[in-house]
Amino acid sequence: MQTLLTFLQTLDTNATLFINGMHCSYLDNFMMIYTGRFIWIPLYLSLFIVMMRNFPWRVNVAFLAVTILLVAVNDQVSSSLIRPFIGRLRPSNPMNPISAFIHVVDGYRGGRYGFPSAHAANCFGTAVFVYYVFRRSVLSKVFAAWAILMCYSRVYLGVHYVGDVLLGCLVGWINATIIYAFFRWSMRKTTETFKPHPNCCKLYTPSMVCGIELATILILATFTIFKF
């Protein structure tokens, strides 16, 4: 068992160093902007606007409430429950022996512990929840790609191991599944009666907003590091 754990830790460390080591100034800028908390507010707003145009107000209120609940649960489970118990230092933490080999961008090292990644839990949980609610191929694929790149950015920046983001994705998926089940149970009559029309073009709005934001980040990354 100990040999297996040692092998997995070595594999995780090597994968992290490989991803973090593939850096350049442009990607440094891009990843720093992409991983920001506030840069994606237009995407979140566009998703809620779609909800308001396709569902009755009771579903919208419930959707907003459970989304906030999902983020809170993912944050607490990741940051307050698992991290202190496991106590795994971030790769970029100066107390971590591998920090000397980590490429740190603009002095950004994150907090002390990083297992699991709250970013990964929140982004992947959101992507799973969007899939459950809308069941639309394009929208689901866009959010899945958005979440995967977010996870990659955390490893690239050296603030998480690959294993951190993988467990974060698992935490997000489990929490999203449980909370969505509660959402459907509590609003089952309303959500079955008021479903968005299959051909409703408004469902493509978040996908377009995500594309516009990504294009904006690609342009901004040409200049310097912006912190959002």
How large a percentage of the chain has pLDDT more than 70?
Answer: 89
Give the Cα separation of 63 and 146 in Å (integer): 20
Give the mean pLDDT of 180-209: 69
Domain span including residue 63:
43-87+113-228
Q: Which of 219, 223, 200, 201 is closest to 211 using CA atoms?
A: 219
18 vs 3: CA distance, rounded Å: 22
Mean pLDDT along residues 187-196: 58
pLDDT score for 201: 47
Is position 94 within any domain?
no
φ, ψ (nearest 5 deg) of residue 104 = -95, 130
Domain count, the chain: 1
Domain assignment present for 16: no
Read off the pLDDT of residues 7-62 as tens digits, 9 standing for 90 and up. 889 999 999 999 999 999 999 999 999 998 889 999 999 988 888 887 777 778 88
**Residue given tokens 């603030």 in the structure block:** 159
d(CA 107, CA 111): 12
Task: Report if residue 191 sits inside a domain.
Answer: yes
Q: Considering the domain boundaries, does residue 31 fall inside one?
A: no
| Chain segment 71-128, per-residue pLDDT in tens | 999 999 999 899 999 999 999 999 999 999 999 998 999 889 999 999 999 999 999 9
* Mean pLDDT, rounded, for 206-217: 94
In a domain, 180, yes or no: yes
- Does some domain include residue 19? no
Query: Which pLDDT does position 185 carry in this prediction?
Result: 82
Contact indicator for 64, 90 with CB cutoff of 8 Å = no
Only one residue has tokens 């980040």, namely: 217
Residue 180 has pLDDT above 50, yes or no: yes
In a domain, 59, yes or no: yes
- Residue 78 domain-assigned? yes
Residues making up the chain, counted from first to last:
228
Report if pTM > 0.85.
yes
- Mean pLDDT score across all residues of the chain: 88
